[in-house]
Amino acid sequence: MKLEWVGGLVIVALLLGSYALVGKIGHTQGMADVQAKWDKVNKDTADEVGRLQRVVATKEAEHNILSQRNSDELARTQEEHAKAMAAVLADYSQRLLLSTSRATVYERLSKGTATERDRLVQHAAELDRTLEEGRSLVRELGQTLGQCEVTVGVLGTQILLDRNLLK
């Protein structure tokens, strides 16, 4: 009976030992499988982050190039505007000189015959009409510039909204 008892204990010990060994092997294998999956997920994530960083870097480089072109174009148009304004002022100065000489002619006509005075009245009426047209055009231009300012403001707001969206 003792032999059976010892044999039973040996069998139980072997079963427990094999169970522990199988459990240990299974645990180690399971940990290795989980670690492999975790490593793959981390690698896939790192690859995707790298890809997205390259896409963002490319888009930022393109944006910088386009922004620089835009800045250069703005500088060019501002320079052209400054030249055009200088030409307008020079033309205005020349016209003021001509106006002085015309004033002398008008004064002479005002002291002339009735026909000369009639021509002067017609000319003054035409000048008055032209002046009113000019004033109207200036008002229209002012309204148009006001609308342009509003449009630029709205577009600027839209650009800020778009940029905030892309952040």
From first to last of its 167 residues, the chain has per-residue pLDDT tens of 566 777 677 777 777 777 777 777 877 887 888 888 898 999 999 999 999 999 989 888 888 898 898 888 889 988 998 999 999 889 889 988 888 888 888 888 888 898 988 888 899 899 999 999 999 999 999 899 989 998 998 888 888 888 877 86
DSSP 167: -
- What dihedral angle (degrees, nearest 10) is formed by the CA atoms of 133, 138, 142, 147? 50
pLDDT of residue 2: 65
What angle do the packed helices 114-166 and 2-110 form, to 10 degrees? 170
Q: Would you list the domain boundaries of the chain?
A: 47-111, 114-167
Please say whether the beta carbons of 109 and 120 come within 8 A. yes
pLDDT of residue 54: 94
DSSP 113: -
pLDDT of residue 79: 93
